[in-house]
Amino acid sequence: MKAYLLTMLMLAGTMTSFGQQKPFTLKGKIKGQTQGMLKLFYNVDGKSIADSATIKNGTFEFKGKLEDPVMASLIGAVKSMDMNDPNSATFFIEPALMAMDVTAGEFKSLKLTGSKTQLEYTTQERVKESVTKGMKPISDAYQKANQEYIAAIKAKKSEPELEALKEKASGIKDQMEPFYEKRNKLDLEYIKTHPDSYYAASLLKWKVSSMPLAESQKYYNALSAKIKASSYGKDVLKEIKDLAGGSPGSKASLFNTKDINGEQLNLADFKGKKYVLLDFWASWCVPCRKGNPHLLSLYSKYKDKGLEIVGVSDDDSSLEAWKKAVEKDQIGVWKHVLRGLKRTTTGYDKSADISEPFGIHTLPTKILIDKDGIIIGRYGGGGENDDAMDKKLAEIFN
């Protein structure tokens, strides 16, 4: 593990991009709207760029500079910032002259020419089209269930009613899993067969956190030198580094914060005394909550043999919901802290984020740390399942 990390860091040091930013122009035509404003959002060197263009006689134009292709968002007269709003869409722009045709109220069907990466994206979406169509009725039902849940919250419905609606939405979401797996398989095949593709790297960036470390390393190593040096390639490397930091063999990242009772909790205090199971969860995460009875049984079985559980909740903006979930699920018998992610006017402050160093992007995920402070198990995103966790704990304590 140490040798692997050293190699990755050395590679990162040699992959500084010496390319220069080049101009792009996006000329567009919009049907059904002759005036108003459009906004374009994208990232350059980790910085968010927000641009706007005036619609004049059904045309608009954006200009800027890019080094590599990036995903951008076009926002029109939206009613909400929901990704499903019909006046918003995402697509890939790159240093080139591009042309767009879009219709008001139908942004998702926009046509973009001049971007090779966008062509790769649309081509791959056609490959997955049959799977997407099969999933659509379930996806629509899930969206409707979510809207019902949000409406119930606004109407201040009772807790049992809200829980029933949340369970309903979660049950529908579970039905989409087989379709997600099929789409994922097709995407991984694309990544494997297109090592010189920016789009392939953009796909891989979002898949690393759900892969075993060795598998993510294999896909990354197969990318071309050009793609590794790109912004997406660097993002993939960072994701792998984070995943490695939360995988077996790595030293657990230490944190020192206030717990749910306002008392100081320092992970370092358990060294030499306890095995620690970090449970990354949230009050709104239905699978997390469903797993709590099992965690309670494990804690009851092994707490006197040297096991401590520390719940790390992604509820920084929902303190009341966090405390209510702990009480309702009767899991206050172990330690609880918040993730530490702070929302700012420009995004998020991750300086005190407990989850980031462990590469946590999927809930629930559990990290098992031995008495020496070394990670010996990862269960959930990028790791094994709960059966493997049960087996590991039995090996340690029985």
For the four alpha carbons of 91, 186, 204 and 338, in that order, the dihedral sign comes to: positive
pLDDT tens, residue by residue, 58-81: 999 999 999 999 999 999 998 877
> Structure tokens of 99?
């042309």
Burial of 362 (0-12, 13-18, 19+ CB in 10 A): middle
Half-sphere exposure (Cβ direction) of 121: Cα atoms closer than 13 Å: 20
Which residues, at least 6 apart from 283, have a Cβ–Cβ distance to it below 8 Å? 289, 313, 315, 318, 321, 322, 324, 325
Q: What confidence score (pLDDT) does residue 333 get?
A: 98
> Which overall architecture, per CATH, does domain 22-113 show?
Sandwich (2.60)
The arrangement of strands across the sheet holding 37-44 comes to 47-54, 37-44, 70-75, 88-93
Q: What confidence score (pLDDT) does residue 10 get?
A: 36
Could you tell me the residue ranges of all domains in the chain?
22-113, 130-245, 256-397
Query: Rg (Cα) of the chain, in Å, rounded?
Result: 23
DSSP SS3 for 46 = coil
> Which overall architecture, per CATH, does domain 256-397 show?
3-Layer(aba) Sandwich (3.40)
Q: What confidence score (pLDDT) does residue 19 get?
A: 59
Q: Residue 151: phi, psi to the nearest 5?
A: -65, -40
AA identity, residue 238: K
AA identity, residue 91: F
Describe the crossing of helices 231-245 and 213-221 by its angle, rounded to 10 degrees.
160
Q: What confidence score (pLDDT) does residue 360 get?
A: 93
Residues lower than pLDDT 50 in the chain = 1-18
> Structure tokens of 229?
């040096």
Q: What confidence score (pLDDT) does residue 106 get?
A: 96
